[in-house]
Amino acid sequence: MLIHTYLSVLGRITIASDGEAVTGLWFEGQKYDLAGVPKTALESGESPVISETRRWLDDYFAGRKPDFSPRLLFHATPFRELIWRLLLEIPYGETRTYGEIAREAAIRTGRGIISPRAVGGAIGRNPISLLIPCHRVIAADGSLTGYAGGIERKQALLRLEQEWKMDDCVRQIL
């Protein structure tokens, strides 16, 4: 497993890769960082997917919406994988509530009800932060809750995306 440290304006980010896809992306000190990855399996290294991820992060933190996504690889329970795939559908600069995601998951699985708390648990275990945008999920009352990378980072990420969205609207008008 290759790892690379990326220095962002919000702190160090660890990128993990199997050489073909991104398998993890965590802010330094993030809850569950490198969860399930044996430390002996890690080696610093470079690969095309790590370079592509660095380029994605460069664009993102420069306030540009990346127009590509590095290949992602994650393995978890079917429920967690469904929730993470739903996160990938949240457009840049937009948010969804835990309840909205729970309702969509219930529809896709054919279940009557899925608890927003269960959704929150799955989101909290997201191994590929930013690329799987768990920071775009908010509480029903609009408050920012439950970000493993820290609420301050969640706030900064949403602000960055909102600024980009506003700039994009101005560009479209002009």
In the chain, which segments carry CATH 3.30.160?
Answer: 2-61
Under DSSP, the state recorded for 4 is: E
SS3 62: coil
Rounded Cα distance, 70 and 53, in Å? 6
CA dist 3 and 132 (Å) reads: 18
12: DSSP letter: E
Predicted local confidence at residue 169, as pLDDT: 47
- Residue 162 pLDDT: 87
Q: Where in the chain is the domain with CATH 1.10.10.10?
A: 78-173
Could you report the per-residue pLDDT of 56-93, keeping only the tens digit for each?
999 999 988 899 999 999 999 999 999 999 999 999 99
Q: What are the pLDDT digits (tens) for 8-62?
A: 999 999 999 999 999 999 998 877 666 555 555 556 778 999 999 999 999 999 9
Active site residue 169: no
pLDDT digits (tens, 9 = 90+) for 99-119: 999 999 999 999 889 999 999
Q: Which two tokens stand for residue 55?
A: 């380029």
Is residue 22 within a helix (H) or strand (E), and if so which, with residue range? strand 22-27
pLDDT digits (tens, 9 = 90+) for 154-169: 999 999 998 876 655 4
CATH 3.40.50.2020 is right for the domain spanning 78-173: no
CA angle (94, 98, 100) in 5-degree steps: 70
- Write b or e for each residue in 30-41: b if 16 or more Cβ atoms lie within 10 A of its Cβ, otherwise e: beebbeebeeee
Q: Sign of the CA dihedral 110, 143, 129, 30?
A: negative
pLDDT of residue 145: 84
- β-strand partners of 13: 6, 27
Rounded Cα gap, residues 158 and 60, in angstroms: 12
pLDDT (0 to 100) of residue 163: 84
pLDDT at 170: 47
Q: Which CATH number fits domain 2-61: 1.10.3470, 3.30.460, 3.90.660, 3.30.160?
A: 3.30.160
Instruction: Look at residue 150 and tell me whether its pLDDT is greater than 90.
Output: no
92-101, 137-146, 162-171 — which one is most confidently predicted on average? 92-101
Which one is catalytic: 134, 138, 157, 160?
134
